[in-house]
Amino acid sequence: MADHLARTLAAEAGVRGLAAVTTELVEEARRRHGTFPTATAALGRALTAALLLGGLAKDGARVSLEFSGDGPLGSILVDATPDGDVRGYVSRPRTDLPPRAGKLDVGGALGRGLLCVLRIPPGEAVPYRGIVPLVSGEIASDVASYLVDSEQTPSVVGIGVFVNPDGSVGAAGGYLLQTLPDADACIIDRLERNVSASEPPTELVRRGLGAGDILGTLLAGFPARVLEERVVRFRCRCNRARVEAAVVAMGRAEMQDLLTTERRTELVCEFCGERYLLDEAELRALLDAAGATPGERS
């Protein structure tokens, strides 16, 4: 089943929900960044969280999440659009800790620190920024705490990544359930009871449930309808033109230096691991296009 995200609304109960199946895109992130199991789980959970938060945003907006901790993993940076594009990386992809209570120790890898959420409205207007301390470093509970503390929206969040014994991603997905502003206070309790009675997200995904089915399970007893389903994917915004612009931004002296010493340069996109090689001819063309001042041309 291709990765996808579903949105639902139980208007009468005052509940909305999103769920996502993200197995393929988390596996793609693992391959691109060469992450080890604990880092794979951390990055996969964060990518899924960004898609869920992005699913609440307006078209043309972006959501970015930065988890920075004092643990061996360092930080995680992910961003997503409401269209379902997500990208991201961890600062130390080869982080792998012994399991804790039979689970990948994402909280131990991240440690104590902060979650910073940036909501960037369409047209790159002034972003809304919210910062909360990490509750556990396990990602889902940190995102729930952000939504409650910073956006004053009672929310239940569950996210999981199952890593196969060979290190590849076996299943990934998650959900986000929220009460609407005028909802009955006991609704969130009912949601939490539903969630604790249900299997964890990775089990639901491994059983072959789609995002709409996951919402149906979690919202059992609520008259909800699925509003839409959309495809989600790992997709970066980097391209050759941006890389060339970055090289030009280094300045003529730096470019000239690169030409005389290395004669070529390779730039790697942090977000997706894509490598861009610029050879001597390309560097020279960029230098020429950058415009020479009189007397500077050699």
* Distance separating alpha carbons of residues 41 and 66, to the nearest angstrom: 16
* Distance separating alpha carbons of residues 247 and 262, to the nearest angstrom: 14
Site string for Zn ion, 198-237 (x = CB under 5 A): --------------------------------------x-
The β-bridge relationship of strands 15-21 and 62-69 is: unpaired
Q: For residue 26, report the phi and psi dihedrals to the nearest 5 degrees.
A: -70, -40
If one counts every other C-beta atom within 10 angstroms of the C-beta of residue 112, the result is: 13
Tallying the residues shown for the chain, one arrives at 298
How far apart are CB 25 and Zn ion at their closest, in Å? 14
The β-bridge relationship of strands 113-120 and 62-69 is: antiparallel
Query: In this complex, which beta carbon is closest to Zn ion, that of residue 78 or of residue 204?
Result: 78
**Which of 89, 175, 234, 271 lies at the binding interface for Zn ion (CB under 5 A)?**
271
* Distance separating alpha carbons of residues 297 and 279, to the nearest angstrom: 20
Query: In this complex, which beta carbon is closest to Zn ion, that of residue 36 or of residue 89?
Result: 89
Binders of Zn ion in range 109-138 (CB under 5 A): none
Tell which residue, 208, 244, 214, has the closest CA to residue 229. Answer: 214
How far apart are CB 247 and Zn ion at their closest, in Å? 15
**Which of the stretches 145-153, 167-175, 183-191, 274-282 binds Zn ion when contact is defined by CB under 5 A?**
274-282
> 145 and 135 in contact (C-beta within 8 Å)?
yes
> 116 and 66 in contact (C-beta within 8 Å)?
yes
Query: In this complex, which beta carbon is closest to Zn ion, that of residue 109 or of residue 247?
Result: 247
* Distance separating alpha carbons of residues 128 and 153, to the nearest angstrom: 15
How far apart are CB 116 and Zn ion at their closest, in Å? 21
* Distance separating alpha carbons of residues 91 and 73, to the nearest angstrom: 7
How far apart are CB 286 and Zn ion at their closest, in Å? 19
Paired strand residues for 172: 161
Size of the site for Zn ion (CB under 5 A): 6
Query: In this complex, which beta carbon is closest to Zn ion, that of residue 94 or of residue 237?
Result: 237
How far apart are CB 269 and Zn ion at their closest, in Å? 3
How far apart are CB 288 and Zn ion at their closest, in Å? 26
Query: In this complex, which beta carbon is closest to Zn ion, that of residue 78 or of residue 269?
Result: 269
Site string for Zn ion, 2-31 (x = CB under 5 A): ------------------------------
Place of tokens 């789609």: 210
* Distance separating alpha carbons of residues 14 and 44, to the nearest angstrom: 30
Looking at residue 143, its amino acid is V
Site string for Zn ion, 230-269 (x = CB under 5 A): ------x-x------------------------------x
Query: In this complex, which beta carbon is closest to Zn ion, that of residue 49 or of residue 272?
Result: 272
How far apart are CB 159 and Zn ion at their closest, in Å? 23
272 touching Zn ion, by CB under 5 A: yes
Query: Where along the sequence are the contacts to Zn ion (CB under 5 A)?
Result: 236, 238, 269, 271-272, 274
